[in-house]
Structure 1
Amino acid sequence: MNDKQIKAFIRSKEVGRKAVSDGLYIRVQTAGIASWEIRYSVNGKRRFMTLEGGQYPHMSLADARATAAIARQSIIKGSDPLAERAKLSEEKIHTVDDLFDDWFVDAKKQLKHSEIPLRIYTKEVKPYIGRLQIKDVTPLDIRNIIQKVAHSNRPCIANDTLLHCKKLFAHACKLGLKDGNPASHFKPADAGGAEKSRERALSVKELEFFFDVARKNISSFGRDNYLAAALLVSLGIRKGELFKLTWREVNLNLKIWKLPQPRTKSSVAISIPLPDTVVSWFEELKIRGCGSEYVFPNRKTSKNPHVSGDTLNRAIAALFGQDSSKTKKPLNRMGDIPYFTIHDFRRTCRSLLAEQGVPSHIAERCLNHKIKGVEGIYDRYDYFDERLNALNLVANLIDPIVNGN
């Protein structure tokens, strides 16, 4: 058929398809609307496929013949155009965001703390390459990301970001979406450098100074942050255990906090005895919570109903004049005291327990550390009363400092 005959066929308002040449067909489905198709056979079965973008007259007869010729060459080599098209339509992993979503499905099942890679990807990676096509990501992109984090004075996060980039693009290579991992050649030295174990623990004098400064700047530091710091020092708990705490876990009448297994790093549930001083802080937090199910509810509009540990870290950083979220750099109100983070409160609690003469195995149980070796296997005693006495010693030391007495 030539172009004149094709137009005549369309004007006839006849519905159906007619052969044009060499497996190329013109098909009219409704009056006046026609599209190009090719016919081919795979495994003895005849198949028809509409050419992509092949509506007549947008695709001319000459273009349709050229497209059909290319398709026939692919078929001769053993390809099935319809199967290839179906595969492409089902494939939904195109961008780095798509890749992370696919990887995170299994990560949530395999990782106990899957919120860590989610937070790192969302804050450190997604803003820069989330919308890029996977094939377009280069090692230079990875270097820019980890250097931005490192230059923000967060070396550990820079190393974690590099680690998760390696895992993410290893997943892309496994799925055949990328030939090489753009993060594979980078090492911690290119990100945050070798990590050193922190040994920072605050002395009693440093605690007195810190709480005094925080109290004098309570309008900016925040009363919730103030009480959170007091609890972290007094109980030696982890920030994630505290800030995700709900009132269902706390019984103020029995003076006990039942921390469930899914929320502990050690994968062991623990009943934490609460000294009277600590109970009074919880009672204040309950009033301040205004009926929230969380002990530390999020005061701002956010997906998370509870505050983040970063909130307290930023408040502490501001006292040291290191709040990067402020356009105007705040004053350093902590003087010559060495910088510390939230996790240093936990180490401080452990040091205070030792200073009060608490036996090592009791102090370790207070922090819900796993006891190593044979002792850890056979010693299943909970030491609840002993832990209560130990935490009371620390609370009695901390109480006048926190309450400004």
Structure 2
Amino acid sequence: MPRLAKPLTELQISKARAKAKPYALADGNGLYLMVSTAGLKTWVVRYRLPGSATATPATIGRYPAMTLAEARVCAVQAKRDAAQGKGTAGTRKAQQVAAQAETGEQEAEAAASAEAERATFRAVSGRWLAERRPGWAAETYRKARLVVDSYLVPKLGDADMRTLETKDVRPVLVEMAAKTPQLARKARQYVGSIVDHAINEGLRPDESALRLARSLPTFRSGHMPAVTDDEGKLGKVMRAIDAHGNRVVRAALTLAALTVMRSGVVASARWSEIDLVAGEWKIPGKEPDGSNRMKTGQDYSTSLPAQALEVLREMHARSAGEEYVFPPQARQNTPHLSRDALSKALRDMGFQGEHTTHGFRASLRTLGRERLGVDVDVLEAQLAHAPKDEVEAAYARVKFKEQRRVVMQAWADYLDKVKGGNVVEFKRKA
């Protein structure tokens, strides 16, 4: 005897999910449920007309519009009609309608799936990064990419930006704050901007910005650690750099201290930018790919004091003919020295939380004013801070060029003195 199908239950039917291929769930008496690859559930009954050698399938309804009990009643009626020589009315049409409905549902599901993927945090943050990249310095983009890819996407990547709420983001930021407070603040800033991007794309209503201002625990202000009031400590930093065992890292740290350029700019310095004869470093505002090299995106030049030229001549003997002044070190994937190698060197030398490579800029800003009596406008021009307008920018480049040359040599001499343990007498600008 043929094996009888075990009757289906409503629970079995409701739990049936789409698979790679269509499949059938038999209920018995010729009735079964077809489940398509799109998850569409259709009731089918097989009946045999008198004199026919084969069974004919007929679509009788869709689940859940037609319940299991109703499908069983329809199946019994189809069998009775067949015994009287009558096919189930509308069988061919029902099959066509079902096929068309399945195709339409598949297309609708595909469109909905594509839209859902486009609305994920992963996709929106990727578009946000791509849009921002042309206006960012390479280091700014690198940091944003690090935070998004390493911290935010692993936790929020599949989140739907159309329904993302503050409560979804806050635990991620709090977890980051416990380990990396500085990056947590950046992450909060980036999430807010990514949400704004989603609003601009029409994925969220205009009034749906997240409330992240108080989402992080209170901690100390995030200024880069820098020595600005202790000449003895600054001298200790300079002596430690002088004694560093890696020649390339030592030279790059020294150039960063002497020119107070940002660490990413120093680490990626090119020989084509440096004029050892004129003693000048001309830095293009943009990288060849159009991204910012300088934070402002504007071309910039700084004079090179005698001490910086000495360091560069030493490196020239090592990397002449190469594109970059400072070659990459072991296990570095960049074509030049990694900026992180400079920060790591200072941490390893015992200055974590006290001084960073970027901190030399704050040292010049404070000590240059208080110890060397440098005019604040000259200091701002040397630090390449963005002027308020184009007229002021042009004015600063022209008016302060020679003054900045004098200041940078005075700064290099000052660093030599504190390195030797000599306290510099306070000078007040008249």
| Contact 2:136–2:295 (CA under 8 A) maintained in structure 1 | no
* Cα distance per residue 1:186-225 (max 9 Å; x no partner): 3245256574666851543222212334445x34xx4333
Paired residue for 1:125, among 140, 152, 158? 152
Q: Deviation per CA, 1:344-399, whole angstroms, max 9, x where unpaired?
A: 21121234433234333333322223555898277352533322222111222334
> Quick check: 1:249 aligned with 2:241?
no
Instruction: State the partner residue of 1:93.
Output: 118
Q: How far apart are the structure 1 equivalents of 2:209 and 2:330?
A: 36
TM-score for both structures, normalised by structure 2: 0.62
CA distance in 2, matches of 1:229, 1:180: 47
Spell out the pairing of 1:194-213 with structure 2 (5 A cutoff). Answer: 195=221, 200-201=227-228, 203-213=230-240
Q: 1:292 to 1:52 in 2, by over 3 A?
A: farther
Quick one: structure 1 residues 364 and 173, their matched pair in 2 at CA, closer, same or farther if it must change by over 3 Å? closer
Question: Conserved in 1, the CA contact under 8 Å of 2:285 and 2:294?
Answer: yes
SS in structure 1 of the partner of residue 37 of structure 2: strand
For residue 93 of structure 1, what is the amino acid of its counterpart? Answer: R
Look up the equivalent residue of 1:66 and give its one-letter code: R
1:236 and 1:350 in contact (8 A); partners too: no
- Going from structure 1 to structure 2, the CA distance change for 1:104 and 1:365 (only over 3 Å counts) comes to closer
The match for 1:261 is 285
Whole-angstrom CA distance in 2 between matches of 1:248 and 1:171: 38
1:311-330 → structure 2 map (5 Å cutoff) = 311-320=341-350
Q: Deviations over 1:264-316 (max 9, x none)?
A: 22343222111221011112233444754222333244553234433322322
Which of 187, 199, 213 in structure 1 is aligned with 2:213?
A: 187
> What are structure 1's unaligned runs of at least 5 residues?
1-32, 37-50, 323-337
The correspondence of residues 324-363 of structure 1 with structure 2, limited to 5 A, is: 339-354=354-369, 355-363=371-379
| Equivalent residues of 2:38, 2:105 under 8 A apart | no
AA of the residue aligned to 2:280: I
1:11 aligns to what?
Answer: none
Query: Is the Cα–Cα contact under 8 Å of residues 150 and 192 in structure 1 kept in the other structure?
Result: no
Q: Secondary structure at the match of 2:327?
A: coil
- Kindly indicate whether the alpha-carbon contact (under 8 Å) linking 2:182 and 2:222 is maintained by their aligned counterparts in 1: no
Residues 1-400 of structure 1 aligned to structure 2 (within 5 Å):
52-53=36-37, 61=44, 65-66=61-62, 81=105, 84-85=108-109, 87-88=111-112, 90-91=114-115, 92-93=117-118, 95-109=120-134, 111=136, 113-130=140-157, 132-134=158-160, 139=166, 142-152=169-179, 154-172=180-198, 184-188=210-214, 190-191=216-217, 193=219, 195=221, 200-201=227-228, 203-216=230-243, 218-219=244-245, 222-262=246-286, 263-289=293-319, 292-320=322-350, 339-354=354-369, 355-370=371-386, 376=392, 379=395, 381-399=398-416
Give, in whole Å, the separation in 2 of the partners of 1:197 and 1:161.
Answer: 16
Count of residue pairs the alignment pairs up: 336
Q: How much does 1:90 deviate?
A: 4.8
- RMSD over aligned CA atoms reads 4.6
Per the alignment, do residues 264 and 102 of structure 1 end up closer, same or farther by CA in structure 2, a change over 3 Å counting? Answer: closer
Q: Structure 2 regions of 5+ residues with no counterpart?
A: 1-20, 25-34, 46-57, 67-93, 287-292, 423-430
C-alpha displacement at 1:115, in angstroms? 3.6
- Name the CA distance, whole Å, in 2 between partners of 1:255 and 1:240: 21
Contact 1:256–1:271 (Cα < 8 Å) also in 2: yes
Aligned partners of 1:260 and 1:270 also within 8 Å: yes
Give the drift of 1:161: 0.5
**Is the CA contact (8 Å cut-off) linking 2:241 and 2:254 kept in structure 1?**
no
- Cα distance in structure 2, aligned partners of 1:395 and 1:98: 48
CA contact (8 A) 1:158 1:191 kept: no
Inter-partner Cα distance in structure 2 for 1:118 and 1:148: 19
Change (3 A) 1:179 1:69: farther
**Structure exhibiting the larger radius of gyration computed from Cα positions:** 2
CA offsets, 1:14-45, max 9 Å, x none?
A: xxxxxxxxxxxxxxxxxxx9999xxxxxxxxx
Q: Distance in 2 between matches of 1:119 and 1:296?
A: 23
Query: Distance in 2 between the 1:349 and 1:261 partners?
Result: 22
